[in-house]
């Protein structure tokens, strides 16, 4: 069985058995493997068991994810290699990834083109690999800055009108 063994002083001796398909590592409690150390991001990286491979994916951490001193965004971790998250080092022990536990059907996400119809059960749906895209009419589409642009233009016009009125008033007072 593959496991991560922490080598850094203060956390030395801690280990985590990699037994699930996905393991999250980070500073906060909702991670599978919590490392309460300030150089570790709240959600630092994910470890995927993919066949006989162990894949490490950085989650845009502040202090980076490194394998044997090389910065990685996504890379395979081999037994004996050193994984560093911020200032915390750990070694992968064991002989690679075990076969991952089978995922339950209810844990899979499916995108349905027209939504689920009433009376259709989950096991009757076909699993798909289609990724979701958001159209212009979607509530999740990028919003335009049209209102902000109009506000800025109106504010500039009003500002210029006020400046022009002040200059006109001064020139009128000066000429009298």
pLDDT of 107 over the 70 cut: no
Q: For residue range 121-172, what is the model confidence (pLDDT) as tens digits?
A: 656 655 555 555 556 666 656 666 777 888 999 999 999 999 999 999 988 8
Mean pLDDT of the chain: 81
- Does the predicted model carry a pTM greater than 0.85? no
Q: What is the pLDDT of residue 78?
A: 92
From the number of C-beta atoms within 10 Å of its C-beta (0-12, 13-18, 19+), residue 135 rates as exposed
> How far, in Å, CA of 80 to CA of 150, rounded?
60
Partner residues linked to 34 by β-bridges: 26
- For the chain, state the CA radius of gyration: 28
């Amino acid at each position: 069985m593959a496991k991560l063994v922490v080598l850094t002083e203060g956390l030395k001796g801690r280990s985590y058995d990699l037994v699930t398909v996905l393991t999250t590592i980070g500073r906060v409690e909702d991670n599978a493997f919590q490392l309460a150390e300030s150089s570790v991001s709240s959600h630092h990286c994910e470890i995927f068991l993919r066949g006989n491979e162990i894949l490490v994916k950085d989650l845009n951490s502040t202090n980076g994810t490194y394998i044997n001193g090389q910065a990685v965004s996504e890379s395979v971790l081999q037994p004996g290699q050193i994984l560093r998250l911020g200032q915390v080092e750990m070694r992968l022990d064991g002989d690679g990834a075990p076969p991952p536990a089978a995922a339950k059907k209810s844990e899979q996400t499916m995108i349905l083109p027209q939504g689920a119809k009433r009376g259709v059960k989950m096991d009757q749906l076909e699993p798909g690999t289609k990724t979701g895209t958001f159209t212009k009419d979607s509530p999740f589409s990028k919003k335009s800055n049209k209102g902000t642009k109009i506000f800025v233009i109106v504010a500039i016009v009003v500002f210029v009108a006020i400046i022009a009125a002040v200059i006109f008033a001064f020139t009128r007072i000066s000429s009298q």
